[in-house]
Chains A and B, each alone.
Chain A
């Protein structure tokens, strides 16, 4: 089972996150201050750290930097109420693998956690298969159960991204960041319209829908349909 150490001092936030992590099938443990967090992180093998920046006994990034200096490579997701991008850069420099500014939606948090826990993709792979989907990235051809999907280049990239993360929630901002290469929170539903088109092409009439909309936040590609 995947073990996550949550370092967060606010009880209400911590409880919500712990419940959500448990519901998503993770074994989560909480540390409310840096001293305890440092002790636990060194004592037990965790697969992921979720770390708040402002803790009663200091700056979360300092602990992260210490752990990194000791050679501990446990992936870390940094949370912070400091919404500034400068802080984000500092967070990533201190050894954070991703940075999520508060307030965030729990779905977004779970999606980021899943993205961090997944093994790095073999990006040299040119043929992707997920359930009935078959993508040939060399020729740009995609089929579902033998049916040719007539995808535009951008739609192929979107599907490629979804297939590589099959079973995990992918949020709009992740799509915008990783498929288009721009990181911001769009006002309009630009990404949804693109996904809507892709879904109409992938999930034909009478077929079980492979791409599911997760209310409010993002999408999941479920190869089982």
Chain B
């Protein structure tokens, strides 16, 4: 089968469409012909039987002496010569008629049999539907109708069927070609575009008509997927650029420092100093790498498996304890207001890292000599950790941006700008909400174990 079909799957589709349609057409025509034949034949037979019964009735009512004349009279009126009539006496001898003898058969209803015509030139036997009836006066009547007509009309039905089938098959093949071509064109369009997309041109979109069919809807779905893909790739590219920029400055500094010390340093102490400076730069770079790795790890969501109940009050208390000396050294007041709260499911180290980052930001971005507030506000299923400072806060326009990697609102402050994005990633991992309080400089981490 496959060997005679074209190798190109699209051409094969054309043949398949056309073939299926032709098969349907043939079956349909045959069914139609059969039904037509059955109905027409039945109706024709009933008409014949009616006429034959009428003959019986007529001759039964005719007085016996007039029957032969009446019969001859009738035969002479039968210009089509498709009627057979025969009047036989009690011993089966022909009295009058155009059949040679009385065929064997039942004397009720009609049946098909072979009769021997006597007045048809060149014909010695003929198929006919006949009925045989006993007439009063010990006579028997044979009345029949030649079936040549019926056979002719059957042949006519077959002929018309075949004649109609040929253009039908032609139409089926044409339709198959058109439908196959159309499908092939659509597939070609998609294939062409996907090839360009694979080659890297993510801006390409599949054509979708104003009133799309199911294929068009599929294309629309693929376009939506491409939109998302394009956005993701842009994001990844952006992150790559960010990383490159983030690394380039310290690497340039590092290179310059090493270059200069190689040239200028004259004694071990000078070399040691240069090496120490270089180490610091490298550590800063490693810090960026580590932070990026942690972000990726957060986004992997692999850490949920280690979640356990976390006591928020203890967590916030520890965070205060950890940061108090640092705040004092920087001349800041660290205010902690903690109320006991129900435990939440989470990773204590990650949550501590998030809080440490929030406190770190508050200490960096708040005004010198200000106040950093850390509150735990309990609710029924957890608590909100609010870290506030006495500064101006993050302008609403920047709030979405600050949780993205490498964003730094105020560039003069040190740090790689990964802090809030890490906090956001940790919050997302837990299903917690990170939000910015209105009208004051505060960030809230709403900790609720998701149901």
Interface residues, chain A, with chain B CB atoms under 8 Å away: 83-86, 89, 101, 103, 105, 154, 180-190, 193-194, 196-197, 215-216
B227 proximal to A (CB < 8 A): no
Q: Is the CB of B300 within 8 A of A189?
A: no
CB of A83 to closest CB in B, whole Å: 4
B290 in complex: contacting residue of A103, A190, A197, A215, CB < 8 Å: A103
Taking CB atoms, residues of chain A closer than 8 Å to B303 are 85-86
Main secondary structure of the interface of A (DSSP, over half): loop
For residue A196, which residues in chain B have a CB less than 8 angstroms away from its CB? 325
Closest 4 CB pairs of A and B: A83-B293, A86-B302, A184-B353, A182-B352
Contact pick for B297, options A83, A180, A186, A216, CB 8 Å:
A83
- Asked whether any CB of chain A lies closer than 8 Å to the CB of B262, the reply is no
- A86, closest chain B residue (CB): B302
B322 at the interface (CB under 8 A from A): yes
Contact A180–B279 (Cβ < 8 Å): no
Is the CB–CB distance between B306 and A101 below 8 Å?
Answer: no
A154, A181, A186, A215: residue with the most chain B Cβ atoms closer than 10 Å: A186
Interface size on B, residues (CB 8 A): 35
List residues of chain B with CB within 8 A of the CB of A182: 318, 348-349, 352-353
In the complex the two chains form, is A83's CB within 8 Å of B294's CB? Answer: yes
Q: How far is the CA of A189 from the CA of B363 in the complex (A)?
A: 12
Shortest beta-carbon distance, A156 to chain B, in Å?
Answer: 13
Could you tell me which residues of chain B, from 414 to 434, have a CB within 8 Å of some CB in chain A? 415, 419
Question: What CA separation (Å) do A194 and B326 show in the bound complex?
Answer: 8
**Are B329's CB and A84's CB within 8 A?**
no
Determine whether the beta carbon of A186 is less than 8 Å from that of B356: yes
In the complex, which residues of chain B have a beta carbon less than 8 angstroms from the beta carbon of A181? 318, 348
User: Quick check: A180 and B322 within 8 Å, CB to CB?
Assistant: yes
Residues of B within 8 A of A154 (CB): 321
Residues of chain A within 8 A (CB-CB) of B276 are 215
Bound CA–CA A182/B318 (angstroms): 10
Q: Which residues of B contact A183 (CB under 8 A)?
A: 349
Partner of B318, one of A83, A180, A194, A216: A180
Q: Which of B280, B305, B323 contacts A216 (CB 8 A)?
A: B280
A89 to B349 Cα, complex, angstroms: 14
Min CB distance, B306 to chain A, in Å? Answer: 7
- Give chain B's interface residues, CB within 8 Å of chain A: 276, 279-280, 283, 286-287, 289-290, 293-294, 296-297, 300, 302-303, 305-306, 318, 321-323, 325-326, 329, 348-350, 352-353, 356-357, 360, 363, 415, 419
Tell me how far the C-beta of A89 lies from the nearest C-beta in chain B, rounded to whole angstroms: 7
Question: Are the C-beta atoms of A83 and B290 separated by less than 8 Å?
Answer: yes
Given contacts A103-B290, A181-B348, A184-B349, 20 further A-B contacts (CB under 8 A): A83-B294, A83-B296, A84-B293, A84-B296, A84-B300, A85-B302, A85-B303, A86-B300, A86-B302, A86-B305, A183-B349, A184-B352, A184-B353, A190-B322, A190-B356, A194-B322, A196-B325, A197-B325, A216-B279, A216-B283
CB-nearest residue of chain A to B328: A193
B329 partner residues in chain A, CB cutoff 8 A: 193
Kindly state the separation between the CA atoms of A186 and B358 in the bound complex, as whole angstroms: 12
Tell me the smallest distance from the CB of B159 to a CB of chain A, in Å. Answer: 80
B350–A184 CB distance below 8 A: yes
In this complex, what residue of A is CB-closest to B283?
A: A216
A188 near B360 with CB under 8 A, answer: yes
Q: Is the CB of B279 within 8 A of A215?
A: yes
Cβ-defined contact, B305 with A188, below 8 A: no
Minimum Cβ distance to chain B for residue A31 (Å): 26
Q: Give the chain A neighbours of B363 by CB distance below 8 A.
A: 188
- Look across to chain A and name the residue whose beta carbon is closest to the beta carbon of B279: A216
A190 to B359, CA, bound (A): 11
The closest CB in chain B to the CB of A197 belongs to B325
- What are 11 A-B pairs with beta-carbon distances under 8 A? A85-B297, A181-B318, A182-B318, A182-B348, A184-B350, A184-B352, A186-B356, A187-B357, A188-B363, A190-B325, A193-B325
Contact status A187-B325, CB under 8 Å: no
Measured CA separation A105–B289 after assembly (Å)? 13
Whether B360 and A185, one on each chain, are in contact in the complex, defined by CB atoms closer than 8 angstroms, is no
Contact status A194-B286, CB under 8 Å = no
Contacts of B318 in A (CB 8 A): 180-182
In the bound complex, do residue B297 and residue A84 qualify as a contact, i.e. CB atoms below 8 Å apart?
yes
* In the complex with contacts A154-B321, A193-B325, A187-B289 CB distance below 8 A: no
Smallest CB separation, A131 vs chain B (Å): 25
Closest to B322 in A: A190
Q: Whole-angstrom distance between the alpha carbons of A193 and B323 in the complex?
A: 9
Q: Tell whether A193 pairs with B289 under 8 Å between CB atoms, given A86-B303, A182-B353.
A: no
Residues of A near B283 (CB, < 8 A) are 105, 216
Q: How far is the CA of A215 from the CA of B276 in the complex (A)?
A: 8
Q: Which residue of A lies closest to B361 (CB)?
A: A187
Task: Give every chain B residue within 8 A of A85 (Cβ-Cβ).
Answer: 297, 302-303, 306
A73 to B17, CA, bound (A): 71
Instruction: Give the nearest-CB partner of A189 in chain B.
Output: B326
A180 to B322 CA separation, bound complex (whole angstroms): 8
- Interchain CA distance A57-B413 in the complex, whole Å: 47
Question: In the assembled complex, which residues on chain B have CB atoms less than 8 Å from the CB atom of A190?
Answer: 322-323, 325-326, 356
- Shortest beta-carbon distance from B125 to chain A in Å: 96
A186 to chain B, nearest CB (A): 6
Which partner residue on chain A sits nearest B416 by CB separation?
Answer: A187
Q: For residue B325, which residues in chain A have a CB less than 8 angstroms away from its CB?
A: 190, 193-194, 196-197
Residues on A with C-beta less than 8 A from B415 are 187
Q: Which residue of A lies closest to B290 (CB)?
A: A185
- B243 nearest CB across to chain A (Å): 15
Q: Is B279 a contact of A187 with CB atoms below 8 Å?
A: no
Chain B residues whose CB sits within 8 angstroms of the CB of A216 once the complex forms: 279-280, 283
Contact A187 B349 (CB under 8 A): no
Residue of B nearest to A188 (CB): B360
